[in-house]
Structure 1
Amino acid sequence: MRFLAFLLAIFCVSPSWAVHAYAQFGDIKYPPQFKNFDYVNPLAAKGGELVLVPPSRLSSFDKYNPFTLKGNAAPGLGSLLFESLLTGTMDEPATAYGLLAEDVSVAADRRSVQFRLRPQARFSNGDAVMADDVKHSFETLTSKQAAPQFRTLYADVTGVVVVNPRTVRFDFKSANPELPLIVGGMPVFSRAWGVQGGVRKPFDQIVTEAPIGSGPYKIGQVAFGRDISYERDSKYWAKDLNVRLGMFNFDRITYRLYKDNTAQLEGFKAGEFDFIQSFIAREWARGYAGKSFDNGLLIKRELKHGNAGDFQGFLFNTRLPKFQDVRVRQAIGLAMDFEWMNRQLFYNAYQRVRGYFVASDFEAKSVPDAAELALLEPLRSKLPPQVFNQPVPLPPYTSLDPKSGDTLRDHLRQAKALLADAGWTYRDGALRNAAGDAFSLEFLDNSGAMGRVVTPFAKNLEKLGFVVNYKVIDFAVLQKRLDVFDFEIISNRNVGSESPGTELLERFGSQAATTEGSGNFIGVRDPAVDALLSHVTAAKTRPQLISAARALDRVLRHGHYTVPHWYGGVHRVSWRSGKFEQPAITPRFYQPESWVTSTWSATLENRSSLAAAQRAEH
């Protein structure tokens, strides 16, 4: 009998039943008492060192608390120091297995979930992980002292109840099948973190105090703001647990931070770190070359995966009056010639992003089907007619549209007409409104890497009369401006999901649009979008989730809130040869950083080298 059927049968005769895992949809792959995940090597040797760079725009850090709004936290903290009640896997979506919790039980009405903690679970200071710590973590993360996105994420949790010292229950507003996964994935930290002399510091004032989590690593050597090392905890409580066996094998994991991509790549070639993921096609084609690659000292690979594609695009800040007319946003999008960029800049390495759920089942197709219409019809008065009677918008082919035969010049003419309809015409050397104000655009960037993309885009926009500025600022400054939505246009990437859900409230929900520090950079405040988001988060089956996500994608694409960029179907990574061993099986759903840090191991040479260095240090 399939495990899910067994689980559902139990729910039919009992108010709840404690099991080792929870699945939002479909079957649970691993049975109770399984030995280890298939994609790990349970006999992997421990030891050695991994040095890498974060796969983000982070160029410095100023805190060890990753849960507050102000400042930039050191990379690696979330995955190496903190753990949660449940843990996901890299070979099945929307399923999680007990980590801090030895079992999970969902009420028959799905209005609550209960977790029983493992008696052996320990924090890095040796204290047992207790239900009071779970409750404290939730109440802290949902307080005003933590970053506001947590309040959005856990908005449907009405309370946390300590049932007994090792059992905790989360109560929900409604029967949302994703909520057990959401609260099960909440980071748990000790009540002792930030307590000095019996006095607890306000959470937003806990900055450089070492976190007290239950993860496999502790903070080691630090060059504050630049480099940080994590040392494997020899007393890690879960090292022999089935959901951790064969994982987190390096004795030391170090992150190095660089101010720009050029310095980072040169540092890699010079041997300053061991592993890197590339996001720039030209750099991958031309920069990852030379003697070290030819002689095999550095390995360069394009790794396949089954992930949903990442969304990437230029985002408009629609809080600004200039971007509130959809015709203006559509006109700006018509001016980007992706095909030319792909040929001239990207070595034909990419495909065009079409919607918000890239290369997945959740991407809207042509006109709405019956299942989508059932969700859209009640919202007809809140939506433009084209949502119902026109195919979902596709980014235009600007070199030569294979369907219409249009060229870039044709699309610029269309853009000119849209701008005129919106009240913007070219006169006195610029695109102006009735009041005579010139239309200026400012693209913000932190590394300068988007400059070669913005430049040809800007030339096309200038043909329409826009005054275009491209501004490069430090990442810390950019982050502060993003937190308060002080920008016009930015480039942003969201990692794709095999089971999109509550995280979309943070990205597109009306409440997040007015919450500083949220991910709703666009500023979407649309009751129709909110209604579709509620359908996404309440979906009880995968077909329901697909229909709701497609309807949401359709409405957002008709809103022209972004100028879609591009995506690739592989992970481009490079590493230093002779230092690492990989498990025999590559998982289907993974990001390179977490795959390497959690499942790779060091060669004998690597282990010996670190051991010698540690002896010298002492």
Structure 2
Amino acid sequence: MSGGTFRLTRRDLGRIAVGGAALAIGLPGAAALGQEAGAPPAGPLAGQPRGERHGFAAFGPVKYAPDFPHFDYADPAAPKGGRMVLQAASRLYNQNFNTFDTLNSYVLRGNGAFGMALTFATLMAPSTDEIGSAYAYAARSVEFPEDGRSMLFRLDPAARFHDGTPIRPADVVFSLTTLRDHGHENLASQLREIESLEAAGEDGVSVRLVPGASRSIPLTIAASCPIFSATWWEGRDFEASLSEPPLGSGPYKVGRFSFGSFIEVERVPDFWAAEQPAHRGRWNFDRIRYDYYRDRIAAFESFKAGATTYREEFTSRLWALDYNFPAILAGRVKKDEVPDGSASGGQCWNFNTRRSKFADPRVREAVGLLFDFEWTNANLMYGSYLRSSSFYENTELEAQGLPSPAELALLEPWRAEIPQAAFGEPYVAPASDGTGRDRTLSRRALDLFRAAGCRLENNRMLLPNGQRLTIEFLDDDNTFEPHHKGFVDNLKRLGIEASYRVVDASQYTDRTRSFDFDMVVSRYSLPLYPDGFMRNVFGTRSASAPGSWNLAGVGGPAVDALVEAIVSAETPEGFQAANRALDRVLRASHAYVFQWYKGTNWLAFWDMYARPAQKPLYDVGALDTWWFDRQKAEAGGMAG
């Protein structure tokens, strides 16, 4: 996407401590969602087959049989060697695109380094050509007892840390407990759904979930949580800044690094799981290096010079005009546009609804009308994008047309409290005339402001309390400035004191973590299976949790109930209906000004790589399935 991105690759209805209340929209409780009042909630594992399993999925059977040789998108004959040098395309937890100052990427404090997840094993390994599945990794199997709330993992006796010591049940218990009690809120909040956790014999780990736990928490536990060495961490503060590489157990270990500049991870040549089906043909580079640049032009110049060898492009101007340098013309650098089967997500400006000036949805809708996408796309992005209207772009979960009976069953009992627009066609921002100064939309915006009690006096838009409406757009990268300028100019024409402010990476991180902003840009790619991650983006408790992904501060009974319907859905049909209903409510709330999306990935790379014939459906696959082609590298002078 052009401009900055904020992905997600992943309570309590009280007041918000940072100065406001969550955006509250009423919705029915458990009984209205189809759960009989007083009945115990169904376990999230109720539908899982019994007995030891090599893998499991959120819905239905897994794709790969117990004797599968490798993932279809991996080539078991891929050679090992070479390097890939890149800048990160997405981030999680405390990571920052522009810098890093700690080697712990799983806590709130500091700016975590990219690549650390590659150094840790997980209990099970996800597949990226199916939705919501995991297969044997550090755990050779998983078993689901009859109660629908328990999981029993059996560890692979070959599982080892990089110093040769075995991964023990105590290490898994320590890891999950530490992440729950001291980890980043966006992960810890999910792990609080664990009721009990204990070692079971010499090779077992037993996990019991709280009643009503989300259907995604088993996947979070199995495939998202790193396994730490309890012995290595003994006597160390998990939440403190970390400058020493922690002991890992994954396909890579930390190599050279310089805080704020670069970090390298090096392939472990005797990686204990290299021949497991979930890993065969993967993790082929000897060295993966993440470089950090605070300026996008400098990053692009690094790629043109060959210092960076792989680049995923997000800036349409560069893709349209600047990929004509000598190495491209000589065929030494290749361009490719590959289909993106994952959810395109919603890239948007987030209103900080905790601030009273944004409390009225009519004010938010009026502000949104003053963004001229058609002009921006034609003049700044070379017509490369489509307008976003939803967090569910490019998926069947996006609300379309009038609500279905299943959606109405979720919404109807609370019609008086849900925005009435949620019961009609889902909100789509009107197209402008493309001039950048559409007077029709400006008049509509002015009418909305007036309906909200605002007034225009001496070319100053005043809120109902008489204070001037001011909006500061906060960013940490001035690449996005042209996209803001037209928006800011249109706001100023209606008497709004609008500005665009760029701050350094650390200040931006601090201000977004504490919700000290008016509007910021983010991009959320929502999961295609029941996932407790949704609570971190939309739940009421997350709206007041520092560092959470709920930048807009949405929440309240309606959103919380719909999120619970999503994460506890027991069928694909129920999951779809709950997501579509949530989509309608969020769009009717006008807490976001959606920007743009495209259903492809722009890739550029020096001609020194090869890749499998089949790409995973839901990932680019470059890091884990491509390999270094020495013959190509030598021909292009890149073999060093």
TM over 0.5: yes
Q: Which residue of 1 aligns with 2:628?
A: 602
Contact kept, 8 Å, 1:19 with 1:103, in 2: the verdict is yes
User: 2: distance between equivalents of 1:466 and 1:187?
Assistant: 47
Residue matched to 2:259: 224
2-side partners of 1:419 and 1:156: how far apart? Answer: 43
2:331 corresponding residue in structure 1: 296
Residue in structure 1 matched with residue 5 of structure 2 by the alignment: none
Question: What's 2:150 paired with?
Answer: 112
Q: Distance in 1 between matches of 2:567 and 2:142?
A: 20
Higher mean C-alpha deviation, range 180-189 or range 110-119: 180-189
**Equivalent of residue 128 in structure 1, options 163, 166, 171:** 166
Contact residue 318 and residue 324 of structure 1 kept, 8 A = yes
Structure with more contact order per residue of length (Cα contacts < 8 Å, sep ≥ 6): 2
State how far apart, in whole Å, the 1-side matches of 2:116 and 2:427 are: 40
Question: Partner residue of 2:12?
Answer: none
Matched with 1:3 is none
3-state SS, counterpart of residue 473 of structure 2: strand
Deviation at 1:599, TM superposition (A): 0.6
Query: How far apart are the structure 1 equivalents of 2:399 and 2:199?
Result: 43
Query: CA offset at residue 206 of structure 1?
Result: 5.1
Match in the other structure for 2:428: 394
Contact 1:132–1:165, Cα closer than 8 Å, also in 2: no
Q: What amino acid is aligned across from residue 112 of structure 1 in structure 2?
A: S
Summarize deviations over 1:320-362 as a string: whole Å, max 9, x none.
1111111110000111111111111111110111111112111
Deviations 1:217-250 (A, max 9, x none): 1111112320111111122110111111111011
CA distance in 1 between partners of 2:153 and 2:548 (Å) = 29
Q: Does residue 40 in structure 1 map to residue 40 in structure 2? A: no
1:537 aligns with 2:537: no
- Residues 28-427 of structure 1 aligned to structure 2 (within 5 Å): 28-56=62-90, 58-78=97-117, 80-143=118-181, 145-174=182-211, 176-185=214-223, 186-195=225-234, 200-205=235-240, 207-388=242-423, 390-399=424-433, 408-427=438-457
SS in 1 for 2:478: coil
Aligned residues: 587
Unaligned runs of 5+ in 1: 1-10, 402-406
Aligned to 1:468: 498
Render the CA deviation track for 1:110-162: whole Å, top value 9, x for unaligned. 1111111101011112111111111111110111x322222222232212121
Letter of the aligned partner of 2:286 in structure 1?
A: D
- 1:204 alignment partner, SS class: coil
Structure 1 residue 305: Cα displacement? 2.5
**Residue 591 of structure 2 is aligned to residue 588 of structure 1:** no
Query: Deviation of residue 386 (structure 1)?
Result: 2.9
| Percent of aligned pairs sharing the same letter | 34
State the superposition RMSD in angstroms.
Answer: 2.2
Structure 2 counterpart of 1:288, which letter?
A: Y
Residue 22 (structure 1) aligned with residue 51 (structure 2): no
Q: What SS class does the counterpart of residue 203 from structure 1 fall into?
A: coil
By how many angstroms is 1:372 displaced?
Answer: 0.3
- Cα separation, partners in 2 of 1:71 and 1:606, compared to 1, 3 Å: farther
How far apart are 1:511 and its partner, in Å?
0.6
Distance 1:20 1:558 in 2: 43
For residue 105 of structure 2, what is the amino acid of its counterpart?
P
Post-superposition Cα deviations, 1:447-470, rounded to whole Å, max 9, x if no partner, equal: 111111110111111121111110
Displacement of 1:55 after TM fit? Answer: 1.4
**3-state DSSP class of the match of 1:459?**
helix
TM (normalized to structure 1)?
Answer: 0.91
Within the candidate set 495, 502, 516, 2:546 is matched to 516
* Secondary structure of the structure 1 residue equivalent to 2:53: coil
Partners of 1:478 and 1:527 lie apart in 2 by 30
Question: TM-score, length-normalised on structure 2?
Answer: 0.88
Deviations 1:286-326 (A, max 9, x none): 12222221111111111113111121000011111111111
For 1:29, the aligned partner's letter is K
Partner-residue secondary structure (3-state), 2:444: helix
The 1:438/1:206 distance shift into structure 2, 3 A limit, reads closer
Is the CA contact 1:14–1:108 (under 8 Å) kept in the aligned structure 2?
A: no
Q: Which one of the candidate residues 475, 479, 485 is aligned to 2:509?
A: 479
